[in-house]
Structure 1
Amino acid sequence: MQKEIETFLEVSHPTTNGIIKRLEEKQLVKTEMTIKNGRMSKNVAITEKGIELCTKNDADKNLLENKFGEWLSEDGKNTLRELLLKIYENLESKK
């Protein structure tokens, strides 16, 4: 449901609507309006094209992670992890 996406992404209803509309235009998701407990609700589902894109992105991410593994020493990897964790924690504390 769209409301679950809004909550997960921590963005407003109009922002979520815009994201879903653009994904739907690219045929990455499909939507369907339903009535639940007397209220209209928009269900959002990923399409086959969307699944293919996610699979490709996962493969690209894995390739990049492997390249980092080749380029960095163990100390370098640990330093990178620590820095990324600090960035993440700092961003989380700002919410």
Structure 2
Amino acid sequence: MESQSSECGMLIKQINDRVSRLFNNQVRDADLTLSQIRYLTFLYEHGGSLVPFREIQEHFGVSQPTVTGILKRLMVKRLVFSETGAEGGRSKSYGLTQKGVMQLKSAEAARNAQEEQLLSPLSEAERAAFQDMLTRILDNLRE
């Protein structure tokens, strides 16, 4: 039973690696990575509101240095801006620049095409079931 669990984990890892590599190749001309697009998407989904650093870190479940590095690279590219909180610089919030919105929208087509390719062997019902199973697994790991 344990080897089946390990096998699923390895398949998930291999799928993630291939999806990342294919998408990174697609958006290379825009000088973006899949991780950066995920951050831009997260900020965009907040409808123009500034998002506190801590909320970004919690959403992605990665270390502070990882989030800091990605946000700094996005700021250098002028896709994201930051504002310091009222406590004298101890907290920052982030938002998308207009350029960031434009870059995200152009990358959206590539991401949608890749998602379609990834799920193409599945019927609509299978896609819904697959999404549900992945969500349940992730929720279980968060507990």
| TM-score calculated relative to the size of structure 2 | 0.48
Moved more, 41-50 or 83-92: 83-92
More strand by share: 1
After superposition, the CA RMSD in angstroms is 3.0
1:87 aligns with 2:137: no
Provide TM-score, normalisation by structure 1. Answer: 0.66
After TM superposition, give the deviation of residue 31 of structure 1 in Å: 1.9
Higher relative contact order (CA 8 A, sep 6+): 2
Instruction: List 4+ stretches of structure 1 deviating above 4 A.
Output: 61-69
Name 1:45's counterpart in structure 2. 95
Q: Deviations over 1:34-91 (max 9, x none)?
A: 433x56221212111210122123334445567789x66xx72212331232123212
Question: In 1, Cα distance between the equivalents of 2:61 and 2:131?
Answer: 21
Tell me how far apart the structure 2 counterparts of residues 92 and 52 of structure 1 sit (CA, whole Å).
32
Q: Which structure 2 segments of 5+ residues have no match?
A: 1-51
Larger CA deviation: 58-67 vs 9-18: 58-67
Equivalent residue for 1:28? 79
Counterpart of 1:6 in structure 2: which amino acid?
Q
Q: Which has the larger radius of gyration?
A: 1
